[in-house]
Structure 1
């Protein structure tokens, strides 16, 4: 990186550290006077981010990404395929499969019996969207949703597939979507991270999730996702050690900042400035996080809306409610991960459990945002890393079957934040195995997300190891047909 570029990145931090008050005093002032501590950003402005001016007028100011880890079966939820029921048990034609890559779990199978869904589908709302009986609450808000039924990806196994969706690359070490957004756009709230992460689990023994999925990669570490947990300490290592008073912590941070500044003057490493900013953010979060996580004052009708599990910390329902509270406080990017969708066997029973724990809360989040006037400029995304096969993995019986990973076509949905309402975009073939029209690649999805936030995905780049990187690598086209 050239001296000019390096100076351009850290000049704001240098100014703050060399000013009379310094970062520490500014942080203390924000605690003493909260109204002045929360930055106000004029229309079209960007606070703290690299971009001083957005490339487009933003339609979404905030994102809630409800990532369904494991690969939900589109044919049990949103992609109605009556032909599969009609031809249940018959061999999938070679002309349909086309020699496409299979996982090691089904590549040895001598037979690929087609398996339709045992669950009923109906059309809902004025849009006539097909939704399974497993998702009655989602069906009730069908006219608020934008279904993309022609998603496809390149990875066929969980870890590279999730990494690809979250970072734009199947390889480890790239920044996550939330980190790109944080780095480019900054934060509208000085007292909470711009990128927050919440995890929940549908069942034990499912595919693990790793911190790399919300990591900052080669971007400054200040922009990595901060994981919020259920329990006594929502953010690890945030509280002061026993016996340390608030004023003692403040003095320690001020002296530590001075030492970091001396080191920065010697080596000019921008990560030193990031470290100072992280310490100061942690100090401010000692006040802001407990207030944000305290959902006890939420009225009963809100708990009723999100479902009974919303009163249980760490559940998907509780995390959806927390996501709303976070974006109410102008957190830029909230990432939820819910595990349990990897159903290679016993799919009918297991997917019932997953839907029961997620359907009501997902729909409630949309309606809650709408009633508060937040949905219009908040983008909500629901989906996993790939879909499932139209044939059964292993033995097919009357009421039991499983499905393997299928990257060639699957469904996600979005709502709010500048996407069209009541739209079902793209389609798959009658067998549900290939895309019939309007394919949407993962990089297209990422480019569209950035566009909705006012960012040209080709222009938000970071020079690393001699190359300029971006979220979409060297690919991606904005899908304008999805935009309102």
Structure 2
């Protein structure tokens, strides 16, 4: 066999280089066309992800960190005394003297994480938790604080965290939305808390029920078509799509129209998938009991958590579960003991059941669980048994998805008013969540109105200390 010279090699193979380039170009074109037809297709991450999906357990109203996951011995000792440090320049309302927690804390698990007696079941999962005790924001009002937590901005309409994540990652089930919010609150920001703003319409959260509807009655509206069978619906949608595509060809790109086309197609596909996912009667009696469905106190939130797990299993990227009602919420300006006791009793067992269930099914390692509210509460009292809003230092915890287990990060001051050690701003929190999902928060951008926007705006640092 004779060897080819370099000149002969190039002459004989030059045509192949062109075909290689052409095949790559065609593959890119095919991928781009597929994204237009179905923008929910899963997308590549910037780097290897620790988590593939997110569940956000949102406690609306602001649970008190000094009564749940941030024990303060000096607050217990100095009950009834004045707060010894300078108070914030802006407060939501006047407060009085220091108010000790009516609940005791104990250490749990091998990690020894302290948890209040409000959460005896979650406490049994202490070694799964990564507790961030040094979160802080800027807005002491519910509306602004909710928007800050959900969208990164308390002053402008911006895409929600779930929408950004769906935009960056797509979904793993093309028959379901990428972002679902179960029984969301309609107050304090309302739809903006799960809205897409200027991102493509397909990234918006799909609400199932709302906070005023029992989860047993929370369904996607009009999920069944009582008038047209599947074949007739398909013919109708094909005709509508043909007309819309012709309009797009004549007028050029129209994000609103493209969004409607995609929403029609997704709604058609959801008819055969959504009811089955929401049908929790398929779960064993022991599983339903683990989530608290056998107890009227825990059944409502337990059903939400169980539905959320079923959506996650089917490839939904971001699921939010909201605990809220029109009377109590977690907003105890008064009746702290009664209100927090009621709220914790409703969510404690379902949350523990969710964590245990995810672990047993092998899902927790690549599912990021987030727990918390829009802010914490003051160590000083309103009346004799209440606490005011406190965005200057509060607690949220994470579990699974690449965070350290049985770990506490940061600290508030000795009484719990201000984040003091290893402070974590909401922008840092968002940057860290995106990082765990394999996304560089500085690269996940969308051009709108002449500039590139991102969830973290021009801020945010990944909290590397909590990464496993």
TM range (shorter): 0.7 to 0.9
Change (3 A) 1:292 1:209: farther
Following superposition, the deviation at residue 478 of structure 1 comes to: 0.2
Aligned to 1:454: 438
- Aligned partner of 2:41 among 48, 57, 60: 48
Please give the TM-score of this superposition, normalised by the length of structure 2: 0.87
- Aligned partner of 1:365 among 354, 364, 368: 354
Structure 1 position 386 matched with structure 2 position 375: yes
Farther-moved stretch of structure 1 (309-318 vs 269-278): 309-318
Contact between 2:412 and 2:418, CA under 8 Å: does it hold in 1? yes
Change (3 A) 1:313 1:274: farther
SS in 2 for 1:273: helix
Following superposition, the deviation at residue 336 of structure 1 comes to: 1.2
SS in 1 for 2:280: coil
Change (3 A) 1:313 1:80: closer
Following superposition, the deviation at residue 48 of structure 1 comes to: 2.3
Structure 1 position 374 matched with structure 2 position 374: no
- Aligned partner of 1:176 among 153, 160, 163: 160
- Aligned partner of 2:64 among 58, 73, 83: 73
Change (3 A) 1:83 1:304: same
Change (3 A) 1:429 1:161: same
Contact between 1:220 and 1:270, CA under 8 Å: does it hold in 2? yes
Aligned to 1:7: none
Any residues of structure 2 matched to 1:265-344 within 5 Å, and which?
Answer: 265-267=249-251, 268-308=253-293, 315-339=300-324, 340-344=329-333
Following superposition, the deviation at residue 463 of structure 1 comes to: 0.6
Aligned to 2:460: 476
Aligned to 2:181: 197
Farther-moved stretch of structure 1 (154-163 vs 307-316): 307-316
SS in 1 for 2:287: helix
**Aligned equivalents of 2:355, 2:62: Cα separation in 1:** 22
Following superposition, the deviation at residue 172 of structure 1 comes to: 4.2
Following superposition, the deviation at residue 91 of structure 1 comes to: 1.3
Contact between 2:54 and 2:369, CA under 8 Å: does it hold in 1? yes
SS in 2 for 1:163: helix
Contact between 2:40 and 2:202, CA under 8 Å: does it hold in 1? no
Contact between 1:161 and 1:386, CA under 8 Å: does it hold in 2? yes
Following superposition, the deviation at residue 310 of structure 1 comes to: 7.3
Change (3 A) 1:61 1:325: same
Aligned to 2:33: 15
**Aligned equivalents of 1:17, 1:459: Cα separation in 2:** 19
Any residues of structure 2 matched to 1:72-471 within 5 Å, and which?
Answer: 72-93=63-84, 96-103=85-92, 105-106=93-94, 112-199=96-183, 210-229=190-209, 230=215, 234-240=219-225, 242-267=226-251, 268-308=253-293, 315-339=300-324, 340-393=329-382, 395-396=383-384, 401-471=385-455
**Aligned equivalents of 1:226, 1:55: Cα separation in 2:** 26
**Aligned equivalents of 1:456, 1:481: Cα separation in 2:** 17
Following superposition, the deviation at residue 469 of structure 1 comes to: 0.3
Following superposition, the deviation at residue 382 of structure 1 comes to: 0.2
Farther-moved stretch of structure 1 (424-433 vs 406-415): 424-433
Aligned to 1:35: none
Following superposition, the deviation at residue 15 of structure 1 comes to: 3.4
Please give the TM-score of this superposition, normalised by the length of structure 1: 0.85
Aligned to 1:34: none
**Aligned equivalents of 1:324, 1:57: Cα separation in 2:** 23
After superposition, the CA RMSD in angstroms is 2.3
**Aligned equivalents of 1:253, 1:276: Cα separation in 2:** 9
Aligned to 1:30: none
Aligned to 2:25: none
Following superposition, the deviation at residue 238 of structure 1 comes to: 2.8
Contact between 1:198 and 1:336, CA under 8 Å: does it hold in 2? yes
Following superposition, the deviation at residue 69 of structure 1 comes to: 0.8
Q: Which has the higher Rg, Structure 1 or Structure 2?
A: 2
**Aligned equivalents of 1:147, 1:57: Cα separation in 2:** 24
Following superposition, the deviation at residue 173 of structure 1 comes to: 2.0
Change (3 A) 1:341 1:300: same
1:31-57 alpha-carbon deviations (Å, 9 max, x no partner): xxxxxxxxxxxxxxx9725x5x32111
**Structure 2 residues without counterparts, runs of 5 or longer:** 1-27, 210-214
1:118-147 alpha-carbon deviations (Å, 9 max, x no partner): 111111111111111110011101011000
Contact between 2:40 and 2:178, CA under 8 Å: does it hold in 1? no
**Aligned equivalents of 2:295, 2:260: Cα separation in 1:** 35
Following superposition, the deviation at residue 183 of structure 1 comes to: 1.1
